[in-house]
Structures are given as C-alpha cells and as structure tokens.
Amino acid sequence: MKKNLSLDINVIKAYLVHLLTGTGILMSFFSIISILNEDKLLTFVFLVIALFIDVIDGNLARKFNVKKFCPNVDGVMLDSIVDYINYVFIPCIIIYKFNYVPEQFEIILPILILSVSLFSFSYLKIMTENYLYIGFPSIWNVIIIYLSILDLNDWNNLFILVILILLKIIPIKVIHPMRYKNHKRKNSIIAIGLIFVSLILLLNSLSINILNNFKLIFEIIWYVLNAYFITFVMWINLNLKKN
C-alpha cells in the first residue's frame, strides 16, 4: 500500500513538472496578446516569466525523474514546442512590431531567424552528448531583452543580430551552462539571479524608473553575471580541447 502511494506521489510530481513546462505556452499567448495591444511592457514581462519557467523546469524534470513516472508524455517535445515559440517566434514578432531594426529589414530579418532556428531545432545532432550546442543557441528572446536594456539604435541592433545569425550557421560549440553536471546547481542559481536583474533593468529601460540611484549597481551586477557565463563557456571549451 505504501509502495503504491509513493508511486502515485511520484507520478503526480512528474505530471506537475510537465504542467509547469506547459504554462510557458500560456505566457506565449499573453505575450502575443500584449504585442497586438502594442503593450511592450507586458510583452516582455510574460516573456521573462516564460524564460524563468524554462530555467527551472529542466532541473525539476531530472530531479523527479519524469521519464520514468510519466513515460507517455514526451517532455523533450513539449519543451521544444514551447521554446520555439518563446525563444524564436515571439522575438521575431517583437523585432517587426517594435522597430528594433531599420524598416527595410523588418521582414527579411525575422524570416532569416525563423528559418535558421527552425532547422537548428529539428537537427538531431544540434547538441552533443556532453551538452555542447553546435552553433549559436536560439536564445533570441534573451537577445531582444538585452538589446532593450542596452537601448541601441536600430542599425546597431541589425549588426548584432546579423552577426548572431552567421554564428548559428558556423559550427562553433557552446556549452549549455545549466546542463554541465559539475556546475549545474550553481549555474542555475546564477541564471535565476541574472533573469531577475535583467527584468529590473528591462523595466527601467521601458521608462519605469524603479532604480533611481541604484541603476549603476544593477548594471554592474548584470555585466558581471553575463561575464561569468561567457567566461564559463570559454573555460569549458578550452578544457575540452585539452582533453
């Protein structure tokens, strides 16, 4: 009896993790509604919430062994559907709707991002066994958030986005910081902190002056946390080459 009860609890936990992953699609829906209403603030708020969900649901899925206790639901497929919409599709709508690039590129650039990201999502060897991502990852939601925080002009945005598109088709290798087993918990905590700091700076960049005299402090923290992940990826790649 106790064994069956324990099994039932594990099944419930597994389904709850899938439910959490699925709420990301609700954030997609609300984000798109916000875009249609030309509400840039809410668009990004829902996008950041979806990003937070994506950071934590993978760790929870592995912790509660959802593959074992919920074998009839393909968590990878579920996560990929939500990720493509939140990481690729919605950022492309934002680029078009909110004038992130010069007018003559508002159509062609999202088309390029959608196309190259679609093939990277469907490419079976896009990630190696040791969680090396081939090409620049499709984290266009993060890029759009960062461009909003940096508040660059549309030509500078275009230059950055084109460089990143080119990096997607060049076979560079980028480690997945939250999947590298020796630093997984630490990197997840730092990523959550980075999302929080990014959200505060993003809100501030959208004319909501919530930082006042603390803006510089948050900017320094933001740069330091980003520098950590960049350094971490470079360090891992160097170690892999030595081995």
Residue 192 CA neighbour count, 13 Å, CB half = 10
Structure tokens given for 153: 């002009």
Q: Which residue blocks in 107-183 are alpha helix, DSSP H?
A: 108-122, 140-150, 154-169
pLDDT the model gives residue 131: 64
Write out residues in the chain with pLDDT < 70, as ranges.
1-7, 127-131, 176-181, 237, 239-243
Indicate the domain borders of the chain.
2-242
**Structure-token match 């680029």, residue found:** 95
Q: What amino acid is encoded at 51 in this protein? A: L
Q: What pLDDT does residue 2 have?
A: 47
* 142 and 51 Cβ atoms separated by less than 8 Å: yes
pLDDT tens for 87-108 read 999 999 999 999 999 999 999 9
In this predicted structure, what is the pLDDT of residue 233?
Answer: 76
CB burial string 86-121: b at 16+ within 10 A, e below: bbbbbbbebbbeeebbeeebbeebbebbeebbeebe
Amino acid making up residue 172: I
Q: Are 43 and 94 in contact (CB under 8 A)?
A: yes
First to last CA, the chain: 50
Amino acid at 80: S
Beta-bridged to residue 173, according to DSSP, are 134
> Which amino acid would we find at residue 116?
V
Rg (CA), the chain: 19
Strand 173-175, strand 132-134: pairing = antiparallel
Q: What does the pLDDT read at residue 180?
A: 67
